[in-house]
Amino acid sequence: MAVLKLEQQRLEQLVGQLKIDNPDKMQLKMVQRPSRDHIVWRIYLPGNQNWRLAENSVGGSSGWSSLGKSRATEGLLRFRIDRDDGKSKIHLIRNNVSSTTSLQPELADFLEAHWDELDVKIAGVDAQITESVNAIIPLIEIRLPAALKSLADKELSNLGLQTSATIFQVILGSEKAFEDREKLEQAKQNGGSP
Amino acid sequence: MNDQACEKSVNRRWQLSLSTMLLLVTLFAVGAGFVKARHDRNELQRLLATLRPMTRELSVDNPTQIAVVRRVPTLSNELIFDAYIPKPLVPTQVHRLCLVLEEIVDSGPFDVLFPQPTGSFDLQPGIHSIELRSTEADKNDVNSEHRFVVLVDGETVIKAKRPAVWQASNGWTSYGTISQSQAFDAKEAVQLLRRRNNEPNKNFSLSAPAKKPTNGVLLWIDSGD
């Protein structure tokens, strides 16, 4: 038993701790940040749901990948921006599922140059997050602060950014939560109630 | 008198001596402790079973067997394995790391599944890191090339390149991955990666055709037998 506990402590030093207080809710915590744009969360997803991991960047790419699982799963989710050969790519990796998206060169340069001045919010940094399966969790969200608006107008003129606009985000939620949100947005666009 | 005797005997049935009580309480406590310890141990083992796939550490339980695990990738296209190579069973046995880029099938007899390698490298006994780096050809440049580099312990040991037409369409189909430390017989061929290039199919989607050799990447450890 003592050997098993030591092994648990050793492994948790590598991948962090996550307490599954309620197995019917999403639970996550950031456990590693090897660099400012390389972040690892430990995530628990309840069963009987299909899950989506979506990313949106202003004026450019958006997409989602399915983490479709019918049983509860626990694992690591990695977000990383990699710059290689003058191109910037976003890597999202969870267990054996991964996706890569290219960032617009102007946006990539802007993020690289002004990362520390941008309004960057990362989920689960200070404490574990517990959310209902009906919620959509922004894992990382980068917004444009007012102080950078004029600079962004100059460097990202083609994107027409507004102050506080979300420049980039990665969001996680159940397929149903995404569908509900899409219906709501559709209804808003049509000027009616959902 | 008879009633009194009867009452006495009834009362006596539920009487326990102090030492018996102590014994029963001790037995209960030991039993409860045993059940709790077993429950805690099971919980701990369940937790370890959840944690181990997140770390993907190489585990060498039997030094006469090959052991392999694919490291947790930190980039989508990162492919690094940790491998333990045992001492040869006979002096002539050599474990070789082999790479093939053509004629890759999804099923068939051994010599079809593992054809003559395009490049190979002799692996010494011990623990090694094995990495495959691949760079796709530029889709907009017909003169560009696909490049493959295999590294063992950080040193380039196999290099290969293919023209852009080597992969006619985007994507590939991968077969299995060693995402938890696994042991293999020292005489076995250990497949690290079998990736077959996709082709357009009759449903207007992309897939690797079944029962037909394709270009792709096959990386394995040959037992040399």
* pLDDT of residue A60 exceeding 50: yes
CB count, 10 Å around CB of B133? 14
As to burial, measured by CB atoms within 10 angstroms (0-12 exposed, 13-18 middle, 19+ buried), residue B167 is buried
Model confidence band, residue B1 (pLDDT cutoffs 50, 70, 90) = very low
Model confidence band, residue A139 (pLDDT cutoffs 50, 70, 90) = very high
Question: How far is Cα A77 from Cα B177, in angstroms, rounded to an integer?
Answer: 18
pLDDT for the residue numbered B7: 53
As to burial, measured by CB atoms within 10 angstroms (0-12 exposed, 13-18 middle, 19+ buried), residue A30 is buried
Q: What is the pTM assigned to this prediction?
A: 0.82
More confidently predicted of B16 and A26:
A26
Residue position matching structure tokens 């380039």:
B156
Kindly report the backbone phi and psi dihedral angles of residue B211, in degrees, each rounded to the nearest multiple of 5, phi listed first.
55, 30
Residue position matching structure tokens 């250990």:
B190
Quote the tokens at residue B162: 């293919």
Angle at B54 between CA B49 and CA B58, to 5 degrees: 85
Quote the tokens at residue A96: 């054996």
Chain A residues touching residue B56 (CB < 8 angstroms)? none
CA dihedral of residues B80, B86, B90, B96 (deg, nearest 10): 10
Nearest to A5 among B44, B50, B77 (CB): B44
* pLDDT of residue A193 exceeding 60: no
Nearest to B73 among A4, A15, A93 (CB): A93
Question: How far is Cα B6 from Cα B1, in angstroms, rounded to an integer?
Answer: 9
pLDDT digits (tens, 9 = 90+) for B92-127: 889 999 999 999 998 888 888 899 998 999 999 999
Nearest to B55 among A4, A14, A38 (CB): A14
Check CB contact of A14 with chain B, cutoff 8 Å: yes
**In the predicted model, what is the mean pLDDT of residues A188-192?**
75
Angle at A68 between CA A63 and CA A72, to 5 degrees: 130
Contact flag A75-B51 (C-beta cutoff 8 Å): no
The CA distance from B50 to the nearest CA of chain A, in Å, is 7
Task: Identify the DSSP state of A104.
Answer: P
The CA distance from A75 to the nearest CA of chain B, in Å, is 6
ipTM: 0.83
Q: How many residues does chain A have?
A: 194
Contact flag B44-A12 (C-beta cutoff 8 Å): no
Chain B residues touching residue A82 (CB < 8 angstroms)? 75
**DSSP reduced 3-state for A157:** helix
pLDDT for the residue numbered B205: 73
Residue of A nearest to B48 (CA): A8
CA dihedral of residues A70, A72, A74, A75 (deg, nearest 10): 0
Residue of A nearest to B51 (CA): A11
